[in-house]
Structure 1
Amino acid sequence: MAASSPLTDIDGTSTPASFHTAANSPNTADTTNITSPDHEDDRKPKYYKSEEIPHVLKQSCQIHLEEQMYLPAIELLGSLLSDAGERQQTDKPVRVPPPAQIALLGTLTIHPAYTSRAPEQANLDIAAESREYLRTLLNKVGPVNADFRSAFSFRQGQNSGRWARRGSREFNSAGESDGGGDIGSFSEADNIESKWSGNDHSIWRRSSDFWSVLGWAFRCSTTHPHRWVHWKAWLDFMIECLEKDWDERLAQDEANFRTELSNGNSSGPESEATCQYPLLQQSLLVQYVNDLRRDRKRVLHEVIRALFAFADDENTADNTYYKEVFNKETVLHKDKNKKRKHSQMAAVDLEKDQFGDYLEDWDDPVTDDDEKADTFTTPHLSSVRIGRRTKARPKSTPFSRPGKAFDVSPTTSPSPLRVTDGLADSIPLRLRLFRLVSGCAFYLPPDILSCKTQDLYDLFTSRLKSLPLPCFELFLSLDHDGKVLPRFIYVSLLRYVAQSFTPRSAPKPEDVDPEADAEHAISQAMLRECFLPFSAKTVTVEDNAKFSLVLESMAWCLFQSGSVDYFEGLKWAVEKGIEEREKKIKKGSAKGGAAMTAAEKMGRQVLERSAASLRAFVDAVEATSFMEDGDAMDEDSILVSSP
C-alpha cells in the first residue's frame, strides 16, 4: 500500500465542503445516516402507522392524569402498543396519545418529585414506567408519527390552555407528515388541568429552550451526582429521539429527491440539482435551534457553550448562567419514615386543634413555600453553594444576560476540572449532540446555525483544546472505537486540533498530500512530515502533552485502517517529535528551583505514556509490515496491539 494513501478504510474522509457526510468515501451508505444502532443496517427505519387514540380512551387517560393516577394511565396507553406486532400484519395504525399527554409523561420522568426527591417508591415507579412507555413509543411508532416535535417543544411562560393536538394524525408511513405539527395550534380539548403540566412544574414551561436544560444537566454531572443519575437517563432518551427524528426525515428527504430526479421533476439540469431537505428543516433539532433565534441569542455560541457546560468551583461562569430547572431541585426530602421516640412525638389534642403530624402533607412531594424549606435537606457539596439567598445583587458578568456576546476562546488559566464518573458519563452524550449539530451545519442553509461547517469545527476544537488535560484526554480516549462519533468526524476533529498546536515551521498538509487534504483525511506522509516530528507551538507542559495525545490518536487510527507501512523515516519522525517536545517543556520549566505544580507533574506523566504508545505504534507497524503472507495477523490481533 502506498505510503501516501489517505485514511479511507475507517471512514476518515469527507467531502471538501463538509466534515459530516463523507459523500465521496467508500462507506457513504453508513456515514450519511444519523441514527441509533437499532437501524444501522437500514437507512430508513420501519415505524408503524399511527393515529390518535379514540376520544373515549383519550378522555379516560386525561382524567387519570389530571387526578394523578399515573400508573393506570400509563398501563392503558401501554396496552395500545403491546399488540403492535399484530398490527404490522394487518397494516393497522397504532393508537398514540395527544402531545399534551406525552409532554406530561416527559416531565414525570425527570421531575425531582418523582426521581431524586420522591417521598415513596410509587413515585419512582411512575418515573420509570413513563420513561419506558416513551421509549417504546419512540422505537415502535417513531418520533414523527408520535409527534414528539409538538410534545417536546419549550413554551416558557405560556399557560396550559394552549395545549392542543394536531389537526390530522393519520400518517401513511414514516416521513409523510408535514413536519410534526404546528407549534401553538393546540386545542383546548386536550388541556390537562394539572400542576405538572403548568408553568410551575412542567419542564417544557420551566425553561426557555433545550440548550439551557442541557447546560444545567451537564453541570449536574460534576456538582450534583444525585441529580445527574436522572438527568443522564433523560438526556439519553432525548438525544435518541433527536437522532431518530433527524434520521427519519433525512431518509425521507433523500428518497423524495431521488424520486423527483427519476421523474424529471427537478428544476434545472440533473447534474446541478441539489436536495433542499424540507422535512429536515422541520426536525426537532432545528426547532430547538430556532428557539435560540427566537430569543435573539447567538445560536452557535449558545450551542457550543451548552455542549461544554462544566461546573467545578464557585467561580465558574456557568454556575450563574445555567440554573436549576425545577424549584429546589438539588435538595432532598428528609426521611419521614424513621420512627420517633415517644418523647419526640407531636402532641395531639383535638379540643385545642392540635393534630400532631396527621395533617402534614405526606402525599405532595413538592412545596413552593420558602417557609417550608426546613422539610428538605441539602446534600453537602464543597464545590458549590446551593439554595443560599443574599441581599446583595450578583456581580455583573458577561454571561448575566441571555444572548449577550461572550468569548469561547481558550482561557489563560483553565480551572483544574475534576474528572468524576458523572463527567465521564456525560462526554458520549456531548459527542452525540455534536454529531447532530455537525449534520445540521452541513445539510441545511448556513442561517440555521448562523455559521458554516468550518466555523462549527473551528469553535468546537478551540473550546476542546482549552479544556484541562484530564478532560481533554477523556474526549479523545472515549471515542477510539468510533461508536460515539463516526470515524470521519473523529478524524476531522483530530486534524483540526493537531493543526492548532502545530508550529508555523511545520509543512502544510495541503503541500505534502493534496489529495488527502482535499478530503480532510490523514495519510502516512502527512502524519510523518507535518505532525509527528514537531512539538507544540507553546512551551507549556500541558499543551505539549495534549499535542502528543492527538498525535497518538491519529497514529493508531491510521494503523487500524491498514494505511501505513514501515520504513526508517517513520521511526525517525516519532523519536524526533518526542525529543522536540522534551526540549520544548524544558524551556518553560519553573526556574529558581521551584517545585513543579500538580498540573506540570500530570502533564509530564501523560507525555511519558504517550511517548511509549507512539513507540508501540512504530513496533506494531514494523511487525505487520515484515510478516509473511501466511503468518499475517487477523484484524482482531492488530487492534489488540493498540493501547
Structure 2
Amino acid sequence: MGTADESSYRALEPLPFELVQHTGIFFEEKLWPREAKLGIAFSFTHFETSRHGGRRRAADDTHTSSELASDDTKPLNLDLSQSASLWSRATDFWHAVGWAFNCSVLHPERWERWQVWLQYMCEVINDDWDERMKIFTEQQIEKEKSQHDVTPGQIGGKGKRGAKMEDGRAVLRESLIFQYIVTSTAGFGRNRRILRSIFADGGPTSASEFREVFSKELKPLKRDKAAKNTKKREVEVNIDKDEYGDYLSRGDATDEENTATDTNKDPSRPASPSSKTRRLKRTRRGTRNAADPSGDLDAAESTGDAQQIALNQHVSVSNLGGHNSLALRQRLLNILSFVSDQLPNDFISLNDLYHLFVENIRPLPLPIFQAIVSPYVLPGFCPATQSTLCEKLMWEMLESAAPGSEELYLTQAKLEQCFLPFGAATASAADNAKISILLESMIILLANDNSLSLSPSLREALMQGIQARADKAQEEIRRNQNSRSMEPLEWSWLLESGERLILLLEEVLPLDRNSHDGDFS
C-alpha cells in the first residue's frame, strides 16, 4: 500500500466547501488522515442521534468537549450533516459496506454512487492505518534504543515505564478501521457479521440483513419538471399571426390514431400485430414440438434436474458485482488481516480470521474463486496475505494423503512435498479445479519472490498432481454417469488450469542452476 497523498482525497472535491471544511480536508495542503481528524468526521452516530436530529451525549463518547468545541470539529446545523447524513442513517460502517456490495449485484445504478464512497473510504482507512503503523514502528525503535537504560525490573514492573510499554499499541487502537470494528452493532457475532458484509451477494439473506441506508433510496427519480416547462414555453400560439403551435400536428396525429383504430375494427382487414395484447396460454408440458427451444427447459423441470439448469446459466464475477466490487472486497479483507496481526487480543487471532476467510471463499463459484485467490487477476491482497490465504484454503481442501508441514512460510520444498502432487479431498471436478488454481497462485507468488526455480523434482510433483486430480474427478464420473453432463464447466476449468501449470513450468520459471540434471523433458 502506498502512502497517503493529496490524490487520496479527490473523491470529496465535488462536495460543497462547507462539507469539505467540516471533514478537515484542504487540498492546498498535504494533510494526513490523523491530522485531518477523519476519525471524528467519519464516525457513525446512528444511536447517538435523537428523533429530532439532535446529538445525544453518549456515555462512551470518545470525543472530548474541547475537541467538539473547536470550529473545525463542531457538527454543522444542517440535515445533510446530521439526521440525513450517511453517518447517521447507517447503523455502522459494516451496514453501509453490506448495502453497497448488495447494490453492486442488484442495483447497478446505485452501485455507481456507492462505489465512489467505498473506494474513498478504503483509501482513507488504508492511509490512516499506514500512518499509525509508521508511528508505532518508530516508537518501538525508540524503546529498543532506550532499553539499555532500563533495568529488567522496571520493564516488567508496574511503574510508569512498564505501563507506557504496555500501551505501545494505543495508537493502533485509535485507527479508523479499529473503531469501525469495535463499534459494530452485532455484539457476540461481530466478526462473522463483518465478513458477511464484505461478502454480501444480494441474496435474500444478505438483502434482509443489509438493507438500504437511505429512505426510498431505490425509488426512481422523477422527470425534470423544468425541462417540461421549457418545452411548453417553446410552443407559442398567436392566432393573429396564424401561429397555432403544435395543435394542428396533434390533430393530424389524432386522425391517424382513429384511422388505425377503425381499420383494426374492420373484420375484412387483418388486425395489426400490435393489437394482439393478450398473452397466449402456456402450452402444457410434453405437448411442445421439437422446434420449440424452451421444450428442453420444461423437460429438465419435469425431471427435477434443477442443478442441470443452474449449471447451464452463465456464472461469472458479475455474481458478486464484477471486478471492481471484488477488488474492494479484497482491500477490506487485506486491512482486516493487518489489524488481526497487530491487535489479536482486541480483535481476533490471525488464524481464526483466516478460517472465516476460508469459510466464505471456499464455496464461491470458480470464476469468482479464481479472481479472489489469483494475484494476476486482482491486486487487492499483499503477497503475504495472498500466500497465507492460499495455504489455508489448501489445507482445508486437500486429500488426507497429503503430509503436513511445520514450516510457517511457503517454500519450494513445501510446495513440492505437501501441495503439488495431490488432489482435493472430494472427487468433485470443481474442488479439484480450485486446488489447481491455488497451485497456480502459489507458483506465481514464489516466482515473484525469486524463491522458485525449475528442477526435476518440481516437474515430477507438478505432473503427478495434474494426473492425480484428473483421475480423481474421473472416478466420480464412473460412479455416477449422470454427473458427466453436470460438470462440463468444472472439467474445462480443471483441464485449462493444468495447461497453465505446465506453461508456468516450461516458459516462466527459471532453470535451477544448482541441478546437475539438465533434462526436464
Same fold (TM over 0.5): yes
Whether 2:307 is the aligned partner of 1:307: answer no
Deviation at 1:620, TM superposition (A): 3.0
Q: Deviations over 1:192-240 (max 9, x none)?
A: 33221332x2111111110011011011111111111121111111111
Q: How does 1:215-294 map to 2 (within 5 A)?
A: 215-264=98-147, 268=152, 276-292=168-184
Whether 2:414 is the aligned partner of 1:521: answer no
Whether 2:362 is the aligned partner of 1:475: answer no
Deviation at 1:140, TM superposition (A): 1.8
Whether 2:317 is the aligned partner of 1:419: answer yes
Rounded Cα–Cα distance in structure 1 between residues aligned with 2:388 and 2:371: 17
**Greater shift in the superposed pair: 260-269 or 239-248:** 260-269
Whether 2:438 is the aligned partner of 1:532: answer no
Distance 1:72 1:626, change over 3 A: closer
Whether 2:343 is the aligned partner of 1:444: answer yes
Whether 2:438 is the aligned partner of 1:550: answer yes
Deviation at 1:572, TM superposition (A): 2.0
Q: Deviations over 1:597-617 (max 9, x none)?
A: 56x222111111110111112
Deviation at 1:423, TM superposition (A): 2.5
Tell me the amino acid that sits aligned with residue 353 of structure 2.
L
Distance 1:212 1:182, change over 3 A: farther
Deviation at 1:262, TM superposition (A): 3.0
2:46 aligned residue? 156
Deviation at 1:418, TM superposition (A): 4.5
1:430 aligned residue? 329
Rounded Cα–Cα distance in structure 2 between residues aligned with 1:418 and 1:184: 52
1:211 aligned residue? 94
Deviation at 1:523, TM superposition (A): 1.6
Q: Deviations over 1:71-129 (max 9, x none)?
A: 8951x787xxxxxxxxxxxxxxxxxx4xxx33xxxxxxxxxxxxxxxxxxxxxxxxxxx
Rounded Cα–Cα distance in structure 1 between residues aligned with 2:175 and 2:403: 42
Q: Deviations over 1:437-468 (max 9, x none)?
A: 1121121251x22x211100111122111211
Q: Deviations over 1:17-37 (max 9, x none)?
A: xxxxxxxxxxxxxxxxxx535
Q: Greater helix percent: which structure? A: 2
Tell me the amino acid that sits aligned with residue 589 of structure 1.
I
Unaligned runs of 5+ in 2: 157-164, 236-309, 516-521
Deviation at 1:153, TM superposition (A): 0.8
CA contact (8 A) 1:566 1:621 kept: no
SS at match of 2:353: helix
Distance 1:147 1:533, change over 3 A: same
Q: How does 1:8-23 map to 2 (within 5 A)?
A: none
Distance 1:163 1:257, change over 3 A: farther
Distance 1:248 1:37, change over 3 A: closer
Distance 1:194 1:622, change over 3 A: closer
Rounded Cα–Cα distance in structure 1 between residues aligned with 2:169 and 2:485: 53
Deviation at 1:481, TM superposition (A): 8.2
Aligned residues: 413
Specify which of 8, 11, 33 is matched with residue 143 of structure 1.
Answer: 33
SS at match of 1:509: coil
Q: How does 1:75-86 map to 2 (within 5 A)?
A: none
Rounded Cα–Cα distance in structure 2 between residues aligned with 1:568 and 1:453: 36
Q: Which has the higher contact order (CA 8 A, sep 6+)?
A: 1
Deviation at 1:591, TM superposition (A): 6.4
2:76 aligned residue? 192
Specify which of 492, 505, 525 is matched with residue 401 of structure 2.
Answer: 505
Distance 1:259 1:442, change over 3 A: same
CA contact (8 A) 1:163 1:187 kept: no
Q: Deviations over 1:563-611 (max 9, x none)?
A: 233333322212211111111112222867537556x222111111110
Rounded Cα–Cα distance in structure 2 between residues aligned with 1:231 and 1:437: 21
1:495 aligned residue? 391
CA contact (8 A) 1:531 1:551 kept: yes
Rounded Cα–Cα distance in structure 1 between residues aligned with 2:339 and 2:382: 15
CA contact (8 A) 1:544 1:607 kept: yes
2:259 aligned residue? none
Rounded Cα–Cα distance in structure 1 between residues aligned with 2:493 and 2:146: 59
Deviation at 1:38, TM superposition (A): 4.9
Whether 2:471 is the aligned partner of 1:583: answer yes
Unaligned runs of 5+ in 1: 1-34, 40-44, 48-69, 79-96, 103-132, 165-178, 346-412, 511-516, 629-643
Rounded Cα–Cα distance in structure 1 between residues aligned with 2:485 and 2:26: 48
CA contact (8 A) 2:128 2:175 kept: yes
Deviation at 1:254, TM superposition (A): 2.7
Tell me the amino acid that sits aligned with residue 161 of structure 1.
G
Q: How does 1:301-450 map to 2 (within 5 A)?
A: 301-311=192-202, 313=203, 316-336=204-224, 339=228, 418-420=316-318, 422-446=321-345, 448-449=346-347
Deviation at 1:188, TM superposition (A): 11
Deviation at 1:191, TM superposition (A): 4.4
SS at match of 2:46: coil
2:359 aligned residue? 462
SS at match of 1:323: coil
CA contact (8 A) 1:144 1:180 kept: no
Deviation at 1:163, TM superposition (A): 8.7
Distance 1:226 1:481, change over 3 A: closer
2:307 aligned residue? none
Rounded Cα–Cα distance in structure 1 between residues aligned with 2:436 and 2:155: 44
Distance 1:417 1:217, change over 3 A: farther
CA contact (8 A) 2:447 2:509 kept: no
CA contact (8 A) 2:327 2:379 kept: no
Rounded Cα–Cα distance in structure 2 between residues aligned with 1:433 and 1:182: 29
Rounded Cα–Cα distance in structure 1 between residues aligned with 2:125 and 2:485: 43
CA RMSD of aligned residues (A): 3.7
Distance 1:485 1:418, change over 3 A: closer
Rounded Cα–Cα distance in structure 2 between residues aligned with 1:38 and 1:73: 23
Rounded Cα–Cα distance in structure 2 between residues aligned with 1:551 and 1:243: 29
Rounded Cα–Cα distance in structure 1 between residues aligned with 2:15 and 2:383: 45
Rounded Cα–Cα distance in structure 2 between residues aligned with 1:561 and 1:323: 43
Rounded Cα–Cα distance in structure 1 between residues aligned with 2:56 and 2:510: 66
Tell me the amino acid that sits aligned with residue 219 of structure 2.
V
Tell me the amino acid that sits aligned with residue 362 of structure 2.
K
